[in-house]
Structure 1
Amino acid sequence: MELPLVVGVDGSESSLRAVDWATDEAGLHGLPLRLVYASLWERYEGTSLAQGPDRPSEQVMAEDIVDAAARRAHRRDVELKVSTDLLPEEPVSALLRESHNATALILGARGRSAIAELLLGSVGLTVAARAHCPVIVLRGSHDNQAKSGTRQRIVLGVGEEPQNSAAVRFAFQEAEKRQVALEVVGSSRRPAHEATGGPRPAGDSAALHEQGAADTPDAALRAAAADHPSVEVHRRTVEGSTRKALLDASATADLLVVGAERRHGHFGLGRVAHAVLHHAACPVAVVPQLV
């Protein structure tokens, strides 16, 4: 059975934009869509899910939220299989549990402060750091479309370490489904003696250093490229900060893909993933890799 795309909804405009985007994504991949609302209202109302006219007001509101989201998805794609659920518990715990049985989690970027449009809220950041499936956060002033984004390219962030193979596969699959180009962006830093103009060891050069950095994504991408030969791949290595390179690239991308390692039960986000989740100008997919 194909696992659904799961969207966390809460009635906010950002979550409704996530429903739009996820509807396109589900149709593109032939997946069902699951819309969930998680809240601790049960704790305060002192009741469980009830039926009939005496339902608690918070339950009525939650039902209205998921029903409105489902109608919105069906208006966008009448053939899409959509299910809804109310989860009377804390949102982070609910979404992390959902991540065990989801193809991906899709969330709107919503903070709690005056700079909510710039920074990702605590729920989204925690879920992205700990989820067991890819988490896509709808950052930026995107066009709400997964099928036919206006920029016609996906960006994959790579580093100088062995690459997250799950993120590579995810990026290639998305590019293939959308029939768009994949741009692989990495960064290199010149050794200190080169940056300061000091003498270089014999046989060392900036050209050799840059070539070594460029070879890293080549080696990491070889298997995925063989599996997805129709994807047009562009490789770009820039000198300096990976974070800056990816943030710059996000301004002209429909989706930015980065990896996150999960080591022996340890969860978290690297500095690059953390930065792009806060500041990218396009949707960001954080793809976990068990190592």
Structure 2
Amino acid sequence: MDLPLVVGVDGSEPSLRAVDWAADEAALHGVPLRVVYASLWERYEGGSLSADLGKPSEEVLAEDVVEHAARRALARRPDVKVTPVVLPEEPEYTLVHEGRTASAVVVGSRGRSGIAEFLLGSVGLSVAAQADCPVIVLRGSHDKQAVPGTHGRILLGVGEDPEETPAVRFAVDEARRRGVPLEAVRAWRCPAHETTDHPLMAGEPARLHEERAVKALEGALTGVPADADVRRRTVEGHARKVLADLSHEADLLVVGAKRREGHFGMQLGRVAHALLHHSACPVAVVPQKVRAQ
């Protein structure tokens, strides 16, 4: 049985754009779509959806929100099985719980809180930091669609793991399904204390760090099928800045997040945290379980 794709909605325009993107993604993977509205408030507080329904916002109920979103998904992708769900719970808890039996969770960059578009809302951040499945946060200008993409490529941030990770497998699969190349990027830096003013040694420390980055990149991609269109790239600089800059030319940015056994609460990492706030394209955070040391 195929695990469904889950999209969280709250009636806001960003969440409705997430529904469009999620419908495309569900069709791409051939999986059902669960449209989930979770709130401890029965009534909707906002203007965009109430205008669509022709009702004052104080008369729009949770059922209106989720049914409108489900109809929108079906109108976009009639071939996708769509199930609307209303749960009287905190959205962070609900979406993390839903993620335990989902192929992925999709959320908008912000909701009804009115937080500026360039900052990620608390729900998306919390779900990305705790879910057991990949979480896709719809940042940037994604034109409300997963396919066809504007830039025609998937971007993967490669970390320090010496072998293939769930994030690598996820990125390869997403690129192959879309029929676009995957650009795997490993950022590297030469610490200031390793530089030297001697003319014969000026480039040596940097060269060694770049060689290590190339080796780490090759190790991470060892298990990638030979016929996959993967382009390798090493870039000097902070990973969060390098990837944020490159995200302007990508349709999806994929990064990993380690989940240590026995640890509770938010486990995200500085790079993923920064990209969820500053990426110019949607970000997929893929969890990786690691044993506590």
1 CA distance for matches of 2:59 and 2:227? 48
Q: Is the partner of 2:106 in helix, strand or coil? A: strand
Alignment-mate amino acid for residue 237 of structure 2: G
Match for residue 180 of structure 1? 180
Partners of 1:111 and 1:122 within 8 A in 2: no
| Structure 1 stretches of 4+ moved >4 Å | 57-60, 111-115, 198-201
SS of residue in 1 equivalent to 2:249: coil
Counting only pairs closer than 5 Å after superposition, residues 73-152 of structure 1 correspond to structure 2 as 73-110=73-110, 115-152=115-152
- Partner AA of 2:172 in structure 1: F
Q: Tell me what 2:45 maps to.
A: none
Q: How does 1:207-286 map to 2 (within 5 A)?
A: 207-223=207-223, 225-226=224-225, 229-266=226-263, 267-286=266-285
Instruction: Please give the secondary structure, in 2, of the residue aligned with 1:251.
Output: helix
CA contact (8 A) 1:262 1:268 kept: yes
Tell me the CA shift for residue 190 of structure 1: 1.6
Number of residue pairs aligned between Structure 1 and Structure 2: 273
Aligned to 1:6, the other structure's residue is in SS state strand
Gaps of 5+ in 1: 43-56
Q: In the alignment, is the contact (CA less than 8 A) between 1:106 and 1:137 conserved in 2? A: yes
Q: CA–CA distance in 2 between the matches of 1:200 and 1:194?
A: 14
Which SS does the other structure have where 2:21 is aligned?
helix
Distance in 1, matches of 2:91 and 2:271, equals 25
Q: Please, which runs of 5 or more residues in structure 2 have no aligned partner?
A: 43-56
**Contact 2:258 2:288 (C-alpha < 8 Å) held by counterparts:** yes
Greater CA deviation, 60-69 or 10-19? 60-69
- Normalising by structure 1, what TM-score? 0.88
Quick check: 23-32 or 138-147, which moved more? 138-147
User: Which residue is equivalent to 1:71?
Assistant: 71
Distance 1:75 1:162 in 2: 44
TM-score (norm 2): 0.87
Deviation at 1:210, TM superposition (A): 1.1
Gap change, CA 1:200 and 1:165, over 3 Å in 2: farther
